[in-house]
Structure 1
Amino acid sequence: MDLKDTSAIVTGGASGIGAAVVRQLAAKRAKVVIADLQAEKGEALASEVGGAFVNVDVTNTEQIEAAVNKATELGPLRTLVNSAGVGWAQRTIGKDGQFESAHNLDLYKKVININLIGTFDCIRLAATAMSRNEASASGEKGAIVSMASVAAFDGQIGQAAYSSSKGGVVGMTLPVARDLAAAGIRVNTVAPGLIDTPIYGEGEASEAFKAKLGESVLFPHRLGQPDELASMVIELVTNSYMNAEVIRVDGGIRMPPK
C-alpha cells in the first residue's frame, strides 16, 4: 500500500516505539497525526515530520474522534497504529491472606481500559473513516497495526493485568481482520519483546540494567531498538498480503516466570 499523500494516526506517538513509527511513516510521505497525552514532545515531533499533534487519552472516545477528524483533513486516512499503552505489576494475592492486599481491581480495570478497550475504540473509529476511502487498485482502503507484547504469551509473575490486556489485543486480531475484510481494511498485530525505550530511564545504572536484561535475549544479546520494531510496523502497513497476523519481534526471547 502506497502511503504518499495519505494520512496516518499513531497513538502513543510522542515517544519510544510510537515516535519511531511516526518518523518512518513520515519517511513514506504520509501525514501523521500524533495522538498522545505528551503535548510538548508530541508537538515537537509533529513539527519535525510535518504532521499534527492531537491531545488524546485513548479512554476518551471524543478525543479519538478528534484525532480521526484531524487525520482526514490532512488526507485520506489509510493507516492506524495503536501504540498507546501502560504497564502494571502486582501479584494476584498478598502475603498476609487479607482481601485488602489482593491485586488492586481498579488498577486492573485501568490497564484493560487503556491497552485493550482503548485499542478497540481506536480501531472501530479509524476503520469507520477508512471505509469511506476510495479503494486502491488492489482493493485496499486502509491498514491497522496494534501493539501487543510477548507478555501476551509469556506473562510473568505480577503481569496478570498487562498480559490480560495484551492477550486481548492478540485475540481480537483475527476476528477484527475478518470483520474488516469486507471494507478492504487489513489488521495485524506486533508483539514486541524487550525494547530500549524511555521506560528504563537514563544514566549508568540504567545502562547496566538494560545490559543485564539483554543477556536473556536469544540473539542478539541486547534490547531491541525502536526503529527495529517500527520497521516491522511499516512492513505490515505497506505489504498488501499481510493480514490477520501476530508477529513477535523479540530476538527469540521466551520470558521466564519472573
Structure 2
Amino acid sequence: MQVKENSFLVTGGASGLGESVARAIVEQGGNVVIADLNESAGQALVAELGDNARFVRCDITNGDEVQSAVEMAESAFGGLQGSINCAGIVVVQKLLDRDNNPADLEAFSRGVNINLVGSFNVARLVAASIAKRIANDSNAGDHVEKNIDQGIIINTASIAAFDGQVGQASYSSSKAGVVGLTLPLARELARHGIRVMTIAPGVFATPMMESIPEKAREQLEAGVPYPKRLGAPNEFAKLALHIIDNAYLNGEVIRLDGAIRMV
C-alpha cells in the first residue's frame, strides 16, 4: 500500500511518535486525521501541515469519539485506509509499597484501559470502516483476490511487553496485550485485505522522556548497545511508513530498540 493519496488516522498524533508519523504521512502525499487530547498542539500541527491534515479531540477509550475521528477521515478525504495508534500512557507503581500496602487498582486499570482496550477500540472501528468501504466497492473483492492491500492497522507496544521492569506491571502487561492482539487480528482481517502490525519501540526521545532527570536519561542511553542514544521519533515514523509500503509484513511485532534489553 502506498501512502500517497491514502488517508490514515494517527492517534496520539499531536506530539512524540504520533506527531512524527503524521508529518511523514503528509510529506509522502498522504492525508492524516490527528486524534489527540491536546487540542492546542493538535490544531497547531494541522495549521502547519495544511489541507492534507485534520484534527479531532479524541479519547481512544471512547467509542463515540473514535468513531467521530473515523467519520472525519471518511468525509474529509473520501475514505480511510489505515491507522497508526500511538496514544498511550505510562503507569509506574509497585505491587507493594515500602509499607507493604497494595498498589492502587484504579491506576493499574487505567493503564490497561488506555493502552490495551484503547488500541482494540481504534482497531475495531478503523477495520469496520475499511471493511464497509470494501463491501460497497464492486472492484474491491477482486483486489483482495489479487493480494492488493485494502488497509493497514499499526499498533504501538513497547519493549516493556517483553522486558518489563519493577514498577511496570500496568504498562508491561498492557503492552504485552497489544502484542497479543497482533496475530489474531491479522488472521481475522486477512479476508478483507487488511494487514495488522505492531511496533515495539525502546527508549525514544519523546515528551514523555523530557520529564526524567538528566542522569536517568544518560543511564538509559548507556544501556543501548548501538547506536548508544535514545531513538529519534522520525526513526519510528520511517518504520511505520515502511510497514505501510511492504505488503508482506503482516501479523508481526517489530522491536525498534537499538538492541537494548531491559533488566
Please state which band the TM-score falls in when normalised by the shorter chain: over 0.9
- Counterpart of 2:172 in structure 1 is 163
Q: Per-residue CA shift, 1:33-82, capped at 9, x if unaligned?
A: 00000001101111222200000001111000000000112132112001
Residue 207 (structure 1) shift:
4.8
Of 238, 241, 252, 1:245 maps to: 252
Q: How many residues align?
A: 251
- Counterpart of 2:106 in structure 1 is 106
Structural mapping, 1:177-256, within 5 Å: 177-201=186-210, 206-256=213-263
- Counterpart of 2:129 in structure 1 is 129
Residue 146 (structure 1) shift:
0.3
Name the SS of the counterpart of 1:163 in structure 2: helix
- Counterpart of 1:67 in structure 2 is 69
Residue 92 (structure 1) shift:
0.7
Cα distance in structure 2, aligned partners of 1:58 and 1:164: 18
Q: Gaps (5+ residues) in structure 1?
A: none
Cα distance in structure 1, aligned partners of 2:48 and 2:153: 24
Name the SS of the counterpart of 1:180 in structure 2: helix
2:14 maps to 1:14: yes
- Asked if the contact 2:95/2:167 (under 8 Å) is kept, the reply is yes
TM-score between the two structures when normalised by the length of structure 2: 0.92
TM-score between the two structures when normalised by the length of structure 1: 0.93
Cα distance in structure 1, aligned partners of 2:36 and 2:252: 26
2:83 maps to 1:80: yes
CA RMSD of aligned residues (A): 1.5
- Asked if the contact 1:144/1:185 (under 8 Å) is kept, the reply is yes
CA gap 1:75/1:210 in 2 versus in 1, 3 angstroms:
farther
Residue 186 (structure 1) shift:
0.1
Cα distance in structure 1, aligned partners of 2:30 and 2:13: 14
Q: Name the amino acid aligned to 2:185.
A: V
Name the SS of the counterpart of 1:117 in structure 2: helix
- Counterpart of 1:142 in structure 2 is 151
Regions of 4+ moved over 2 Å? 94-97, 133-139, 205-212
Residue 27 (structure 1) shift:
1.5
Cα distance in structure 2, aligned partners of 1:112 and 1:9: 22
